[in-house]
Amino acid sequence: MLSYRHAYHAGNHADVLKHLILLQIAQYMGEKPAPFWIIDTHAGAGRYALDSVHANKLAEWRDGVGRLWNATSLPAAAVDYLDFVKMLNPHGQLQHYPGSPWLARQLLRESDKLRLYEMHTSDSKLLQECFRGAGRQVTITEGDGFAGLKALLPPPPRRALVLIDPSYETKSDYTAVVKGLEDAMKRFPTGTYALWYPMLIKPESRQLPDRLKRLGATNWLNATLQVKAAPHDGFGMYGSGMFIINPPWTLKKTLQDTLPALATLLAQGPGAKHTLEGQSA
């Protein structure tokens, strides 16, 4: 599990979906005066150089954020997402990509806090460098984010967004996210939880959305972005999804307006499509 480095995949189609939704939720939470926390259980390195050896090995960003960089007539949420990416690229060339911790940090007010967990030793050090000088507002822990949730929830302000996006390199990750979410919801039922998951042929991946629906949340959204048809050979990720518990009431309409354009712009072959389903109390 500790072999995974997100730098190989930074800025790909899955990051576009995940980070666009992260920004929409965090911005909504910031509209109310009460403080809130953002907790990232698998934070990664914080930000990524797209000309690095890691990022260029697969260059997945070219078919992700790279497709949107010079696109015109984008939906409002996609424009907003790109504006944040451009903050890290002030000279107009796409050279760096912000991870979820960096994006979350831009939306914090003085009273808000960011709690980050990362198990990979190298990425944890990079994360520390990314937030050097951030002070007590940002706390970084080299360790298991699921264990961290048990200590943090419920957070003192009783308002929080919990982002969960493990590598899913092992079958145990699929069980861990279900158990972790189940436990978190018992400790903090009013929290907003955003879980990213890959779309793969393997059964544990295909079964995960239904397992999440059976957790008993009364208010949820499940958004998927498929960039190509499922591979016949059974290898490779062909899309990804975000399962959000207690989403902002505005998010469904935003995704209805945004996902069709993303499915078109990020298509890598026949079978590209999106889905959006949900339930509200």
Secondary structure class of 180 (helix, strand, coil): helix
**DSSP letter, residue 256:** H
**Counting every residue, how long is the chain?**
281
The two tokens of residue 108 are: 């914090």
Cβ burial, residue 173 (10 Å; 0-12/13-18/19+): buried
Cα separations in angstroms, 206 against 94, 211, 237, 274? 34, 10, 12, 15
What does the DSSP 8-state code read for residue 145? H
3-state class of 69 per DSSP?
A: helix
Residue 275's φ and ψ, nearest 5 degrees, are -135, 155
For residue 246, the one-letter residue type is N
Catalytic residue (one of 15, 112, 165, 173): 165
In the residue annotation, 51 being an active-site residue is answered as no
Provide the token pair at 149. Answer: 């949730």
Active site residues: 165
